[in-house]
Amino acid sequence: MQFKTFKIKELDENSSKYGDELRERYGADMIKQSNDKIKKMGKDEYSRINELLDSINTSLKEAFIIGDSSCEEAQKACKYHEDLLKLTWPNGTYSKESQLALVNSFIEDERFTAYYDKIAKGCTEFFAKSTEIYCKDYLHNRGD
C-alpha cells in the first residue's frame, strides 16, 4: 500500500472510531488542523509517531519498575509524550496545562487505562502522577 494511502486509511479509521468524541472535546477546527498536519507528514516524520509511542511505553515500563514518578525514566516518558503532542497537534496549541489535562483524562477513560495498564497494572495513574511532576515543575519554575 502506498504511504499516503496508508496514512489516510489510518486517519479515517481513527476518525470513525473517535472522531465525534474528539470534535466534541477539542473542537472540529482543532481536529481538522491536526489531521491536516498529519496528512502533510512525510514517511520519516510519520514514523516518528510510532517511535515516540514506543519510547513512551518503554520509559514508562522502566520507571514503573523503579517505582518513582519523578525518576529520570518517568520524566523521559513525559518528554516523549510532549514531543508526540507537538508533532501531532496543530502548531502553537501545545501547553503543559493541556498535556497534564490530557493525561489526567486517561484515568477516566477505560480505553486509555486498558492501554497503559497493559504495561503494568496501575501504570495509567503512574503516568498521570509523572506528568503532574513534569508539568508542575515547569509551571512552577515559570513564575506564573
For residue 7, what pLDDT is reported?
60
Q: pLDDT tens digits for 98-131? A: 999 999 999 999 989 999 999 999 999 999 999 9
Rg (the chain; Cα; Å):
16
For residue 20, what pLDDT is reported?
75
Largest CA distance in the chain: 50
Strands (DSSP E) found in 40-109: none
Q: Please provide residue 35's backbone torsions phi and psi, each rounded to the nearest 5 degrees.
A: -60, -40
Which residues in the chain show pLDDT less than 50? 143-144
For residue 23, what pLDDT is reported?
79
For residue 72, what pLDDT is reported?
97
Say if CB 42 and CB 57 are below 8 A apart: no
- The total of other beta-carbon atoms located within 10 Å of residue 47's CB is 12
For residue 144, what pLDDT is reported?
45
